[in-house]
Structure formats: C-alpha cells, structure tokens
Amino acid sequence: MKTIYFIRANKTKYGGAENYLSCLSEVLKKQNINHQVVNSIFPKFMPSWLRVILFNLQVCLTKKDKFYFSLDRITCPDIYRAGDGVHKVFLSIEKKSRTNLLHPIYLFLERKCFNKAKHIIANSQMVKNDIVSTYKINPKKISVIHNGIEIKKFNYQKSFDKLSNEFSIKKDQKILLYVGSGFKRKGVKEFLQIISKLRNLDIKAFVIGKEKDIEYYQELSLKLKIDDRVIFTGPREDVDDFYTISDIFLLPTHYEPFSNVVLEAMGFENAVFTTKQNGASEVLDSSFIMNNPSDFSIISAIEELFNNPSKLENIKKENRAKSEKFSIENNLSETLKVIDKFI
C-alpha cells in the first residue's frame, strides 16, 4: 500500500480532529501501514485567512502522486473526511458575518474540495445530507462512518476521591457535565438555563473547556442564581475523571457534525442529551434528543432520571454497551475499506 498522507493544518493538544488523528496513527503503526501527518508550516501570528490559503498551496503544490487523506478543506484531496461539517450550513445557523475573509475562503475551498475529492467520508448522516443538499454532490460519492473513540476502563471511587477533595462534592450529589470549547456554538448559555430550571435537586454542574468570553458565562450563572451549583474549570487534563463521576452529560449544541464527547460520555456510563443539530444524536434514542438548544422539555426527563436511580443506572450501562460499537478500531477498519478502493 502507498504511504497515506493525512492532511491537517492545526496541531493542537485539545482538538477533536487532532485527537482522532492521533488515535488513528497509533492503530496504523500497529498494523505497519506507512503514513505521515502533514501540518501547516506557517506561524500562527499570521492572519487565519492567509494561513488557510498558504496551507492549501503548501500541500497541493507538492502533491505529485501522493495519496492525500485530508481532514481539512483543500483543493487537491483524494479522500476528504468532512469532520468539520458543511461550513455553508454552519454560517446559515450561526448567522456569521461574511465580511470576515476567512468565511468566503472556506466556502471556495469547501466547494472545490467536495467536487475534487474521489470520495468523501461524512461522520454522520446529517453531514452527508447537508453535503448533498447544499452542493448537489452525488450521494454515492459519500460514505458515512461515525467517529470512533478509545474505549477506556475507569475507577469511580478513585476519580470521586480525587475530585471530591478539590470541589467538595458530596457522596449522593447528582452531577451534570458539559465538555467542549467554543461555548456559544456548543450551547453553554442553554446549558446554564437548563440547570437553573432544575428544582428540588442537590446537583453540581461542571463546565469544562476553554472560552475567551468566560466572564460572560460566569456572570450569567450569577444572574440565574446558580453560581453555587456550577463550576467553570477551564480546560483540564483529567477530563476522564469528570466523565467517571458524572451522571448526565448535556450538550445543547447549535451545530456539531459529530461530537466525540457524546461517545466519550456514553463510554464512561453517562446518560446523554444533545440536540438533533448534532450528528452524534444519531446514536441516541429519540427521548434523549432535543429539537433545538432551547428545547427545555428535556428538563422533566432529567428530573425523572435523577429521581429514579435504577432507571438512570440502566441507561448508563446501556450507553456504555452502545459506545463499545464505536471504537477507534472499528472506525479505522471501515475507513481503510474506503481507502483501499481509491489508493
């Protein structure tokens, strides 16, 4: 098999695509499959729109007969994994200003990428539908392969002892969790509003992730009078410990092609709620899917679970079993089948 060149501009510690690529690389090494990861050579102090243009030139001018599996929008992919969804759809939902040069450049590259790729991998049926309806791409050119995660073992007591000391968590306290950066798009405002409407429950909610406007959300928690129930931790290295002690994971996102944190939370035995605007909702039962980020009808469902411990435990166990079907090994197996057809 030819060397596979994985194209990803950013090389960050916390990015979902970067974590996915890291796991994928480890499995490929075990199978002795030659591969390289190509990152941007351009410094981050440059304007983002310029770095995007230059990265496209960097990889496409040096392509020759190389086989490119791209995780970024470029004009010369062999296979494109549309893990970032459809930018045109994202703009319509977020109502972003198109005066930012980055958006028209993304739209140009996106159209070229979808048309030039020999094959496209969408990480959800939602994304496939968006590609087909937005850019009129032949659906036969698109495979749906849901994201894969590392299935981990965990120790509740060890994690609880560690975090209870740091955050004064009581033994019988119910835990809600949010994990993710980019608070506006991923629905932290709605997360806080939902917490504020939960009555007669002894709960603690953790918001984990990086956010430049963190003060806005801290002030909102004060206005909603839930500052004693909500803890903003910032980014954490020990996210697995929070998953382990959590009961319910809530992600009221506005747009998410397929959020890995949904699978990760399921893997750590959480009941999980998210919106139908998240491709990961495809792995959940309908009763756990919100119609939109402000669908507060789920409040009664959350309260019912907290008031019915045996039902909550059953759902948590079921979610762990479901998550095991979405291992990174299964994802790789399906991905390699696609690569084999085109390399």
pLDDT, position 240: 97
The half-sphere exposure of 3 on its side-chain side, counting CA atoms within 13 A, is 12
What's the 3-state SS for 256-285?
A: ECCCHHHHHHHHCCCEEEEECCEHHHHHCC
Q: In the CATH hierarchy, which top-level class contains the domain 156-325? A: alpha beta
Confirm if 239 and 246 have CB atoms less than 8 A apart.
no
> Above 60 in pLDDT, residue 14?
no
pLDDT per residue as tens digits for the range 93-142? 877 666 789 999 999 999 999 999 999 999 999 999 999 999 999 999 99
Angle at 70 between CA 25 and CA 256, to 5 degrees: 90
230-234 and 248-251 beta bridge pairing: unpaired
The answer on pLDDT for 13 being more than 70 is no
Go through the chain and tell me how many residues it has: 343
- Given this model, what pLDDT does residue 23 score? 75
What three-state secondary structure class fits 174?
Answer: strand
The Cα 50–Cα 35 span in angstroms is: 27
> Which DSSP helix (H) or strand (E) runs through 207?
strand 203-208
Rounded (10°) CA dihedral 183, 104, 74, 92: 50
Helix (H, G, I), strand (E, B) or coil at 250: strand
Which helix H or strand E contains 315, and what residues bound it?
Answer: helix 309-323
Predicted pLDDT of residue 97: 64
Class of domain 4-148+327-342: alpha beta
Of all residues in the chain, the percent with pLDDT exceeding 90 is 83
pTM comes to 0.91
As a whole number, the mean pLDDT across the chain is 93
- The pLDDT tens digits for 171-187 are 889 999 999 999 999 99
Answer yes or no: same fold for 4-148+327-342 and 156-325.
yes
What is the per-residue pLDDT for 308?
95
pLDDT in tens, 234-258: 999 999 999 999 999 999 999 999 9
Tell me the domain boundaries of the chain: 4-148+327-342, 156-325
Share of the chain above pLDDT 70, in %: 98
